[in-house]
Amino acid sequence: MSLLKTTQLTKYFGETHAVDHVDFTVTEGEVLALIGSNGAGKTTLINLISGLIPVDSGAIVFQGADTTRDSIHEKIARGIARSFQLVNLFDQLSTLDNLALAIFSRDGKTRKLFRLSDADGAVREEAVAVLQQFGLAGKAGMLAGGLSQGERKLLDVAVAYALKPKLLFLDEPTSGVSTREKAPIMDIITQVVRAGGITAVIVEHDMDVVFKYCPRIVAMHQGTILADGTPDEIRNNEQVTANLLGTQRHA
Partner 1 sequence: MSPVPAGTRRPLAAAGPIVLVLAILPWVVEPYETVLLSYGLVFAIAALGFNLLLGYTGLLSFGHSAYFGVGAYAVAFTVKYLKVSSMELLLLAGILASALVAALFGLVCVRYTRIFFGILTLALSQVLWSLAFKFFWVTGGTDGLRVPTPTLLGVSIGAGQDKMDFLAHKYYYYVLVVFVAATAVMWVIVHSPFGKALQAIRDNETRAEFVGVQVWRYRWVAFLISGVFTGLAGALWVPLNGLTTPDILVWNFSGEIVFFTVLGGFKTFAGPIVGAVVFNYLKTFAVGYTVYWQMFLGVVLVTLVLALPTGIMGMVARLAQKSRRAPAP
Question: What is the sign, positive or negative, of the torsion defined by CA atoms of 157, 161, 162, 165?
Answer: positive
Does position 211 interact with partner 1 (CB under 8 A)? The reply is: no
Q: Kindly state the smallest distance separating residue 96's Cβ from partner 1, in Å.
A: 11
Does position 77 interact with partner 1 (CB under 8 A)? The reply is: yes
Q: At what angle do helices 149-161 and 95-106 cross, to 10 degrees?
A: 20
Does position 52 interact with partner 1 (CB under 8 A)? The reply is: yes
Does position 242 interact with partner 1 (CB under 8 A)? The reply is: no
Does position 105 interact with partner 1 (CB under 8 A)? The reply is: yes
Question: Per-residue contact track with partner 1, 3 to 42, x per CB under 8 A?
Answer: ----------------------------------------
Nearest CA among 92, 47, 166 for reference residue 56: 47
Alpha helices by DSSP H, listed for the chain, are: 42-50, 72-78, 95-106, 121-133, 149-161, 179-195, 207-213, 231-235, 238-240, 246-250
Q: At what angle do helices 179-195 and 121-133 cross, to 10 degrees?
A: 130
Q: Which stretch binds partner 1 (CB under 8 A): 10-18, 70-78, 147-155, 241-249?
A: 70-78
Does position 106 interact with partner 1 (CB under 8 A)? The reply is: yes
Binding positions for partner 1, rule: CB under 8 A: 50, 52, 72-73, 76-77, 81-82, 84, 88-93, 97, 100-102, 104-106, 109-121, 159-160, 163
